[in-house]
Amino acid sequence: MVSALAMGQQKPLCFFTCILLALGSAMAQSKTGQLDQFMQQYHNHQLFNGNVLIIEKGNTVFSKSYGLASLEWNQAHQADTKFRIGSLTKQFTALLIMQLKEQGKLDLHHKITHYLPWYPKEIGDQITIHHLLTHSSGLINYTNQAAAIDDINTHAYSPDEIARKYCVSPLEFEPGTQFRYCNTGYFLLGVIIETLTRKRYVDVLRENILQPAGMTHSGMDSPEAILTNRAEGYSYTFDGFAHASYINPATATFSAGGMYSTVGDLSLWQKALSEDKLVTKENKAIMFTPNRGNYGYGFYINRLPSGQPGQVTTVIGHNGSISGFSSSMLRYLEDDILVILLDNTRAERRGNLENITLGLVHILLHKSGVPLVESMQVAITERVHKSSGADLIAYYKTMKAQKSVYDVSRAESILIDLGNFLAQQGRINDGHTVLQFATEEFPSSSGCYSAYAALLVKEGQLRAAKAMYQRALELNPVNEQAVIQLKALQP
């Protein structure tokens, strides 16, 4: 029997417990509201369109969809919408390599010719598996060659055929001496996986990662695949949103960027990694050891000041982009916060998903807010049809002077795109003005000179165009467009 005294003590305990629960619920709702408001402003400013998932200490604290998966059908994103994830694929490829290491089928420090006997020895004998994993191989990035991607997308090549045709090139630097992000290395890793397992990459991926992790909404994508709840991919042009250009991820980017997934499946991937479910703790430690460029195997590992004396914040993750899509998955290690962002409008071309993640984390940790930084491209798009080239340049200079308000970090590519857009609209003089200014603003940019030269060719200014292409080639000896056009301009 409960005594009267005991019963008398239960009431205030229950009362205070209810108060604490109510306060906790109110605080959670308040934080959820802040996170939603923060994301909504980015969506409203055309800087994010997709799904966000935040997990803190193993619990989902925020999950929401913003915008449309299909603009034509007015179909909203759902929690299980499938997105192409681009270079987030690299961490899956890296883990498959580590599994082969565990099985004794592969040595990280063997030369790649040991696994690909057909690879030219004068190049392959200098490159190790470790070099491919850490973007220190010195190989040229095949995805920077427009002709290569066009060829791959219009032919039914196998990964082995693509590797033999486009992943063999002279070295840009001695392997192991520099970090230079390179899709070529991760494409070759996929070919090595297929060679050693005698299976297709997609099957090895499914059997060794996706099924063990319970990732039932992920896989390798292709235009032919019938996927429920698939997001369409869009680009943001100076005319607004448009369908992204065609690409076949299964072949064009393969093991370097060919996967699709959902925010939920990616959280399962992270969970499997944290539980040492897919690879041993020792091999996972190798994956998460930073090398040049703070890059491990398939992950960036950045250690940043935390704001507290003597303490750091370790941020582990990656971003991805592929025609029509952007992705970001970052884990704040000490705070045990995971933020996943999947977007179907190539948002990183006009904004910064990492800045969005930082703002969300600051809200969770009750730190000072991260102000929204507006997009230079969106701002120009709003006035491109009513302003001259000179006026647009003046506006760009105004934005450049307000770096705390506008993101001008991609000004080089945006000015090139703007100049080309104006010329395509028949506004040749405005396009000329913008592209000439781009070469002055970015005098070390081979791309700016190539774009300006192409317009000079259309204008019939062949001597000036030749000089611009020559300058582009001086700045970048492997500028494919400059090489081809200079040959065409020879008398």
Q: What is the pLDDT of residues 67-125, one digit of tens each?
A: 999 999 999 999 999 999 999 999 999 999 999 999 999 999 999 999 999 999 999 99
Question: How many other CB atoms sit within 10 Å of the CB of residue 246?
Answer: 13
User: CB neighbours of 425 closer than 8 A, spacing ≥ 6?
Assistant: none
Which of 274, 269, 258, 271 has the alpha carbon at shortest distance from 215? 269
C-alpha–C-alpha distance, residues 3 and 336, integer Å: 45
The domains found in the chain, sorted by start residue, are: 50-365 (3.40.710.10), 374-489 (1.25.40.10)
pLDDT band at 28 (very low <50, low <70, confident <90, very high): low
How confident is the model over 433-449, as a mean pLDDT?
Answer: 97
Confidence (pLDDT) at 10 = 40
pLDDT band at 27 (very low <50, low <70, confident <90, very high): low
Question: How many other CB atoms sit within 10 Å of the CB of residue 33?
Answer: 11
Residue 150 in this model has a pLDDT that exceeds 60: yes
How confident is the model over 214-234, as a mean pLDDT?
Answer: 94
Q: What is the pLDDT of residues 472-488, one digit of tens each?
A: 999 998 788 899 999 99
Structure tokens at 150: 């066009």
Average pLDDT, the chain: 92
Reported residue count of the chain is 491
Q: What is the pLDDT of residues 400-432, one digit of tens each?
A: 999 889 999 899 999 999 999 999 999 999 999
User: CB neighbours of 84 closer than 8 A, spacing ≥ 6?
Assistant: 221, 231, 233, 249, 259, 260, 322, 324, 325, 327
DSSP code for 244: P
pTM for the predicted model, two decimal places: 0.89
